[in-house]
């Protein structure tokens, strides 16, 4: 029984960790969709932050990427 619980816990961690990494691209896409036709400074800054978040995601820094993307969305007024 103890082995089963340990195995189940490890399996859950293995499945949950990659799932969190998929949040970054969704947030970047949301920024790009929101700023699609905006030519103002806020749109430009948000697109720059989206590019930075994408780079962080590619480097495996998912927590930093998510924070960067969420900050950019907050500056655009998107919750």
- Of how many residues is the chain composed? 79
Q: Is residue 59 included in any domain, yes or no?
A: yes
Taking alpha carbons only, the member of 52, 53, 57 closest to residue 21 is 57
**pLDDT tens profile 12-50:** 565 544 545 578 899 999 999 989 888 888 889 999 999
Whether the model clears a pTM of 0.85, i.e. scores above it, the answer is: no
Q: What's the total number of domains in the chain?
A: 1
**pLDDT tens profile 48-61:** 999 999 999 999 99
Q: Is residue 26 included in any domain, yes or no?
A: yes
Domain limits at 72? 21-76
Q: Is residue 11 included in any domain, yes or no?
A: no
Q: Is residue 5 included in any domain, yes or no?
A: no
Q: Is residue 4 included in any domain, yes or no?
A: no
Q: Is residue 63 included in any domain, yes or no?
A: yes
């Amino acid at each position: 029984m103890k082995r089963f619980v340990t195995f189940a816990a490890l399996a859950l961690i293995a499945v949950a960790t990659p799932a969190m990494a998929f949040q970054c691209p969704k947030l970047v896409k949301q920024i790009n969709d929101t700023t699609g036709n905006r030519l103002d400074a806020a749109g430009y800054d948000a697109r720059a932050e989206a590019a930075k978040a994408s780079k962080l995601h590619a480097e495996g820094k998912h927590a930093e990427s998510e924070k960067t993307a969420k900050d950019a969305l907050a500056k655009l007024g998107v919750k």
